[in-house]
Amino acid sequence: MIRRPDQVGFTLIELLTVIGIIAVLAGLIIPALAKAKYKAAQANELSSAKQLMLAWHMYAGDHNDSVLPGYRYGLEAKDLKGQPIPHPINARYPWRIAPYLGQSFALMYCNENRRLLEQFQRMDDPFLAVYAASVFPSLGINAIFVGGDDMELPPNSAAFAKFGPFCALKLTEIQRPSDLMVFCSARGPFEGKIVSGFYEVKPPFLAARRWAVDWNPADGPEAWGYVHPRFGNRAVSAQVDGHAESLSRQALQDMRHWANPADAPDWTLRALRNP
Nearest to 177 by CA among 95, 249, 88, 239: 239
Could you tell me what percent of the chain has a pLDDT over 70? 90
What is residue 262's predicted lDDT score, i.e. its pLDDT? 96
What is residue 275's predicted lDDT score, i.e. its pLDDT? 45
Output 10 or 51, whichever has higher pLDDT: 51
The answer on pLDDT for 1 being more than 60 is no
What is the per-residue burial (b if ≥16 Cβ within 10 Å, else e) of 165-188? ebbbbebeebeeeebbbbbbbbbb
The answer on pLDDT for 54 being more than 70 is yes
Q: What is the mean pLDDT of the chain?
A: 91
Mean per-residue pLDDT, 84-105: 97
Give tens-digit pLDDT for 210-265: 999 999 999 999 999 999 999 999 999 999 999 999 999 999 999 999 999 999 99
What is residue 38's predicted lDDT score, i.e. its pLDDT? 75
The DSSP secondary structure of 152-182, one letter per residue, reads TB--SHHHHHHH-S-SB-BGGG-S-TTT-EE
Confidence of residue 165 (pLDDT cuts 50, 70, 90): very high
What is residue 17's predicted lDDT score, i.e. its pLDDT? 76
Mean per-residue pLDDT, 66-87: 96
Give tens-digit pLDDT for 105-151: 999 999 999 999 999 999 999 999 999 999 999 999 999 999 999 99
Tell me the C-alpha distance between 187 and 198, whole Å: 5
Give tens-digit pLDDT for 180-205: 999 999 999 999 999 999 999 999 99
What is residue 273's predicted lDDT score, i.e. its pLDDT? 44
The answer on pLDDT for 272 being more than 70 is no
Helix (H, G, I), strand (E, B) or coil at 143: coil
What is residue 11's predicted lDDT score, i.e. its pLDDT? 76
What is residue 18's predicted lDDT score, i.e. its pLDDT? 73
Confidence of residue 36 (pLDDT cuts 50, 70, 90): low
